[in-house]
Structure 1
Amino acid sequence: MQKITVVGGGFAGLTAAISAAESGARVTLHEAHHTLGGRARTADGTYRTNDGPHALYRSGPHWSWLSRHGLLPRGSVASVPARELLRFRFRRGGALRVAPPRGLLGLVRRPAAEAPVDSDYLSWATGVAGETAARAAAHFIGVALFHHDPGSLSARFVQERLRRVTALPPQARYPVGGWGTLVDRMADRARELGVRIETTARVDALPADHGPVVVATSLDAARSLLGDDTLSWPGGRTTLVDLALRTRKGDPFIVSDLDAPGWVERFSAQDRTLAPAGQSLLQCHLPVAPEESKAEGGAHADALLDLGFPGWRDRTEWRRDALSQGRTGAVDLPDTTWRDRPAIDRGDGVYLVGDQVAAPGLLSEVSFTSALEAVSLALRAGGRRAAGPSAPSGAVGTP
């Protein structure tokens, strides 16, 4: 049995550990924190908050994998009730409206293949639908990019995500009780398969004689662990505001800011276990530029709440503001694609996984896809070593 070490116990690390153990490997997983989950942790306490919305998409690659493994039992995920979709609101021209500009709807229908890789999104979309619609579309898709200027990113990258997020019927599903419930099921499955899980076990250096190692940490942590300064890729900075309000009839489900990237969602609309009865749990995420502060993002949230949730200050039961930096996935600039990100195969039996590496997908799908690819490469490399020396394999993500 081949031995594989996984460093990091988040969604990617657990996926890698399960996949490797199913293939017959002896797996040890090291997690520096005292609990598993990474960015998929759900806060303990009265309000079950996630570090971001963390939606699963039924059309995504990990949905079928989780289903096949029995990790999505009946009732474990929630969809958005149809009545809530009627409470979708947009900020346009400083006012709250019930519909986006018509040109945005036209952009949504454009196949992603029409958008060029080498152009920024705003330039391409302006040529297709005019500047007003282009800016609205760029700001709208900020919900899936966590970036302060989506219009400056690769047109293909942005359009792919716009198409996924706006697909009908809606594809987003939400783990009931927060992502921590899914993490717990994944950890239980890993242990059933014989994975040895060690928490509060920080790995500061790889031993000289290590076997295959899957590094499932943030890119910053991997850069330090591997001593590789090339491990870098742009991401976003986002102010996250979690807010519990006393429920009021008529509150919107979502307020999407089309004047600037910003989003407010009432997550307890689809999962009532997230907050006590009579209360709504909201999350606002407001991308901020490198020179902007967390407080500026918070002020943006307040402005959206003023428009969409009358009297919200008097109804507030709890609030938490945080700044998320380098924790919201990769963004691709013009002339780049996911294939240009840091490679999964780092050589010498080391494999890098996470949401900023060379694998396709939307948000957490990148972590999942890279984890399966890393394990496949590690097992194939192990088989070649057992059979005799051969040329090293390259790191190629699934198209």
Structure 2
Amino acid sequence: MRKLTIIGGGFAGLTAAITAAEAGAKVTVHEAHRTPGGRARTAEGPYGTNEGPHAIYSGGPHWTWLKQRDLLGPLAPLPAAESFRFRFHRAGVLRRTPPLGMLRQSLRHAEQAPVDVDFRTWATGVAGERTAHDAATYAAVATFHHDPGSLSARFVQERLHRAASVPPEAHFIRGGWGQLIERMVARAWEMGVRIETSSRVDSLPLDEGPVVVATSLPAASRLLGDPSLTWESGRTVLFDLALSTRKGDPFVVSDLDAPGWIERFTAQDPSLAPAGQQLIQAQLPIGPGESKADGVAHAERLLDLGFAGWRERTVWRRESVSQGRTGAVDLPGTTWRDRPAVDRGDGVYLVGDQVAAPGVLAEVSFTSAVEAVSLAMRSERGVLRKGLDLKHA
């Protein structure tokens, strides 16, 4: 391949850039913001927040790829004592142990679940109504959706199995995901990738070779002029909070009554907040008729139960709504194969977390990025072979 243009410098775009550069391509990345990273950026300042709770799953293909290139970097291990501070909100009470039925349900592999039936109906049939409810709400940590039970049983079961695995698949990058992005940017520069920041692209540079569009799906739809580029996603309130430190605060509060997740990130990585403070990040999915205030009120109810005196201890807080930025969700009768295709034709490729690629959370971005580069390389080889054939004819 002679040249590849990538629009978007987030995790997907940087994965595509490194993959293509390793294959010998001349790569240019256009990033509209002043720094690369996209949703994987870590905020500057005293609080190392990501755009919502971020973890990296060791069972995914990106884990091995990053480790092989020494890009994963140091992880933030969870102290053993903190693992005993996991709390489950069920029937209005905080509990120390998860329901046994939910644990049993989490052991089922996704292949056992049907695609064309919603999770609630299927799980109720195999494990009972209460277990189905608990399992669905717990799976919201990896779906960011207000009603996971209404989604495809195959889709939800895969995420439940991965999120509740023992030993845990979820790991934390020391210093936040921004550290991973910095290592990926450095690797790209070493490979000769040209990264242009504050470079907004309004039309595709198709005369310069294949183009990989690594933006959000709505942005890709506008850029490509293709209104068919849509897929279901979540709508989630993101709630960040810094508290003065107090012994006994939980590590996680998982709401099994209604989807919601609160996590104390300084439990494993104290560097994310100033000394004497702890950083909490929460995600509270909200339905179509709910507002940011509803999500914040949900978070405050959970904080009242788990974090004694949190209002008086608050030194900083931030609230926002994430719309369609938390990855694809598959409705009954659909799988990842039904999402917008990676190959858009005419040398254009689409990557990100809402496209036709397998995986959980960031794994979809990674898998689609590697696939896009592979398809672009094959296409380029075909063009070169055709040109040589014409030359010799």
- Please give the range of the TM-score, normalised by the shorter of the 2 chains: over 0.9
Partner-residue secondary structure (3-state), 1:285 = strand
After TM superposition, the structure 1 = structure 2 runs for residues 9-24 of structure 1, keeping only pairs within 5 Å, are: 9-24=9-24
Aligned to 2:184: 186
Match of 1:202 among 179, 200, 203: 200
CA–CA distance in structure 1, aligned partners of residues 373 and 263 of structure 2: 36
Match of 1:141 among 136, 139, 149: 139
After TM superposition, the structure 1 = structure 2 runs for residues 84-123 of structure 1, keeping only pairs within 5 Å, are: 84-123=82-121
AA at the equivalent of 2:51: D
| 1:69 Cα deviation after fit | 0.8
Query: Bigger CA drift: 124-133 or 2-11?
Result: 124-133
Partner-residue secondary structure (3-state), 1:248 = coil
Aligned to 1:131: 129
CA–CA distance in structure 2, aligned partners of residues 325 and 208 of structure 1: 30
Structure 2 residue 218 is the aligned partner of structure 1 residue 220: yes
CA–CA distance in structure 1, aligned partners of residues 312 and 209 of structure 2: 58
Cα shift readout 1:201-242 (whole Å, capped 9, x = no counterpart) = 000111452410000000000000000011000000000000
Cα shift readout 1:270-305 (whole Å, capped 9, x = no counterpart) = 111100111110011100012211111000000000
CA–CA distance in structure 1, aligned partners of residues 287 and 245 of structure 2: 32
Aligned to 1:161: 159
AA at the equivalent of 2:128: G
Structure 2 residue 310 is the aligned partner of structure 1 residue 308: no
**TM-score scaled to structure 1, two decimals?**
0.96
| 1:100 Cα deviation after fit | 2.3
Aligned to 1:273: 271
CA–CA distance in structure 1, aligned partners of residues 41 and 222 of structure 2: 23
AA at the equivalent of 1:95: V
Aligned to 1:56: 56
Aligned to 1:38: 38
Long gaps (5+) in structure 1: 390-399
CA–CA distance in structure 2, aligned partners of residues 47 and 297 of structure 1: 22
AA at the equivalent of 2:198: T
Query: Bigger CA drift: 112-121 or 342-351?
Result: 112-121
| 1:102 Cα deviation after fit | 2.0
CA–CA distance in structure 1, aligned partners of residues 223 and 212 of structure 2: 12
Query: Bigger CA drift: 203-212 or 38-47?
Result: 203-212
CA–CA distance in structure 2, aligned partners of residues 337 and 23 of structure 1: 31
Q: State whether residues 3 and 208 of structure 2, in contact with CA within 8 Å, keep that contact through their aligned partners in structure 1.
A: no
After TM superposition, the structure 1 = structure 2 runs for residues 168-183 of structure 1, keeping only pairs within 5 Å, are: 168-183=166-181
Partner-residue secondary structure (3-state), 1:90 = strand
| 1:24 Cα deviation after fit | 0.4
| 1:355 Cα deviation after fit | 0.1
Aligned to 2:281: 283
AA at the equivalent of 1:380: R
Runs of 4+ in 1 over 4 A off after TM superposition: none
AA at the equivalent of 1:55: A
After TM superposition, the structure 1 = structure 2 runs for residues 369-384 of structure 1, keeping only pairs within 5 Å, are: 369-384=367-382
Aligned to 2:336: 338
CA–CA distance in structure 1, aligned partners of residues 175 and 58 of structure 2: 18
CA–CA distance in structure 2, aligned partners of residues 201 and 105 of structure 1: 48
CA–CA distance in structure 1, aligned partners of residues 255 and 72 of structure 2: 32
Q: State whether residues 205 and 211 of structure 2, in contact with CA within 8 Å, keep that contact through their aligned partners in structure 1.
A: no
Match of 1:363 among 361, 369, 392: 361
CA–CA distance in structure 2, aligned partners of residues 110 and 11 of structure 1: 30
**TM-score scaled to structure 2, two decimals?**
0.97
AA at the equivalent of 2:260: G
AA at the equivalent of 1:28: T
CA–CA distance in structure 1, aligned partners of residues 204 and 169 of structure 2: 40
Partner-residue secondary structure (3-state), 2:328 = coil
CA–CA distance in structure 2, aligned partners of residues 143 and 180 of structure 1: 21
Cα shift readout 1:33-85 (whole Å, capped 9, x = no counterpart) = 00110000010001010002221111110011001111123xx2123222211
Cα shift readout 1:170-221 (whole Å, capped 9, x = no counterpart) = 1111111111111011001101111111000000111452410000000000
Partner-residue secondary structure (3-state), 1:327 = strand
AA at the equivalent of 1:157: F
CA–CA distance in structure 2, aligned partners of residues 172 and 108 of structure 1: 15
CA–CA distance in structure 2, aligned partners of residues 208 and 180 of structure 1: 31
Partner-residue secondary structure (3-state), 1:36 = coil
Cα shift readout 1:122-154 (whole Å, capped 9, x = no counterpart) = 001111111111101111111110000000000
Aligned to 2:6: 6
Cα shift readout 1:2-33 (whole Å, capped 9, x = no counterpart) = 10000000000000001101100000000000
Cα shift readout 1:69-110 (whole Å, capped 9, x = no counterpart) = 11123xx21232222111111111111111222211221122
Q: State whether residues 79 and 172 of structure 1, in contact with CA within 8 Å, keep that contact through their aligned partners in structure 2.
A: no
Q: State whether residues 260 and 283 of structure 2, in contact with CA within 8 Å, keep that contact through their aligned partners in structure 1.
A: yes
AA at the equivalent of 1:342: P
CA–CA distance in structure 2, aligned partners of residues 42 and 68 of structure 1: 23
CA–CA distance in structure 2, aligned partners of residues 52 and 60 of structure 1: 20
CA–CA distance in structure 1, aligned partners of residues 207 and 356 of structure 2: 26
**Cα RMSD (Å):** 1.2
Partner-residue secondary structure (3-state), 1:333 = coil
